[in-house]
Amino acid sequence: MALLGKLAENIEPNMFETAVIEAQKRNDVETCIQLDRFSKSLYIPKTVRTFEVLAKAYSGDVAALRELMKTAESPLTKAFAKAVLEAAALAKDVDLVVEVFERADTADASALRAFAEAAASNAVALGTKAAREAPGGGAASAGHNAKGLATQTSEIRALGRAGDLAGATTLFERLPMTGGRAGTTALNSIIDACVECGDLKAAHGYVAKALQRGLADAATFNTMMKGLLAAGKEAEAEQFLEEISKAGVQATQASYHGLLHARVLAGDRRGAWSIVGRMRAAGVGPNAVTCSILLKLVAAPGHASDVSKIMQLVGAVEDPIDEVLLSSILDACLKTGHLDLLSEVLARNSTVALTSPMYGSMIKAFGMKRDLPRVWGIWHQMHTRRGQPTAVKLGCLM
């Protein structure tokens, strides 16, 4: 692992981008896949261009595209969204088209809609005669339905954010009654619009419809709970959390994070840890976000026991520790004087990319504890990662 970490330090994102582009030019999909796996194992950040090239390389592999989508930040860039839409049209994958429009920037909706229409038309032109003559119109029908549902659910959410619930409701009522993932996406879009507009009664009605039709998923409940918590109705949000398991739906970390954050803001330590216990009892493992929320509980030296418990969770999460979580850990360790725990985290996550302020804060923290070996160790790490010795960092070192 130490050798791999050292190797990762010497690989710039632009270098990785160049390798992926060359593999894609040769239509070498296998090499693209290997490079993608390599970047994940070494936590090498992907550039925007790298995501776009990989999306084109995976055009014939919907499963690989979905995995790539999971690692892309929202909102999706227009070029990346187009690459995925083109592949989805060829694969006639309605769900993937829906997901793209859900995660794309609303400002790009119009341009992406036009592109989706063109992609659907191209899919028809390139399809076989059997596909064109299939019941329901084959590729043409699939492309049209995918484009129509994806764009309309995206517009429903946009209308909700704009405060136009009447417009969102009208558009939703025009959608055909459908089941499966498409039906769930449609209902979730109108629930989201209702919550954005503060109409919890209407949102509750659509949740009931989703349950009646067997279309409710974790996002259905999570969105409703978000609205209830925003309205200060924590007890009702608790009831919805209980309903998730009764409905046979697997809760997610996000299902608990709203309530957890509410308990943390209220300073209810026992309540916060109780929610973590319920998560684990339900088979939902805490993730990096869970730990970041819990770290907000730490405000004084007397909260050292919380830090120790949180660090146990950090050690168990599958997510790699990013700078945001590391910053929260640093802050908590400073408040409680637990720099020994911070040292352990740094040792286990030596490949985490850090900013200049982060290096400066750590140098200052260990300097205040007169831990010169650690101070020089951090300085050396910063230097090897080409961190520039800014005035702030030099001041901390002094």
Per-residue pLDDT band at 35 (split at 50, 70, 90): confident
By the 8 A CB rule, do 352 and 8 touch? no
359 and 398 inside one domain:
yes
**Considering the domain boundaries, does residue 308 fall inside one?**
yes
Q: Where does residue 294 rank: exposed (0-12), middle (13-18), buried (19+ CB within 10 A)?
A: buried
**Considering the domain boundaries, does residue 271 fall inside one?**
no
Per-residue pLDDT band at 351 (split at 50, 70, 90): low
327 and 291 inside one domain:
yes
297 and 330 inside one domain:
yes
pLDDT digits (tens, 9 = 90+) for 67-100: 888 888 888 888 888 888 888 777 777 778 878 8
pLDDT (average), residues 362-390: 70
**Considering the domain boundaries, does residue 87 fall inside one?**
no
Domain containing residue 370: 354-398
327 and 362 inside one domain:
no
- Percent of the residues in the chain that have a pLDDT greater than 70, as a whole number: 80
Number of folded domains in the chain? 2
**Considering the domain boundaries, does residue 320 fall inside one?**
yes
**Considering the domain boundaries, does residue 233 fall inside one?**
no
Tokens of 367: 């300097």
Q: Which residues, 6 or more positions from 87, have their beta carbon under 8 angstroms from its beta carbon? A: 55, 56, 58, 59, 60, 62, 65, 96
Q: Which residues, 6 or more positions from 355, have their beta carbon under 8 angstroms from its beta carbon? A: 323
Instruction: Give the per-residue pLDDT at 101.
Output: 82
- Which of 295, 310, 337 corresponds to the end of one domain? 337
**Considering the domain boundaries, does residue 330 fall inside one?**
yes
Per-residue pLDDT band at 139 (split at 50, 70, 90): very low
Tokens of 52: 């776009």
* Whole-number Cα distances in Å, 377 to 62, 359, 362: 45, 11, 11
Cβ count within 10 A of residue 272:
23
Cβ count within 10 A of residue 350:
13
- Percent of the residues in the chain that have a pLDDT greater than 90, as a whole number: 24
The model's pTM is 0.60
- Measured CA to CA, the distance from residue 348 to residue 293 in angstroms comes to 21
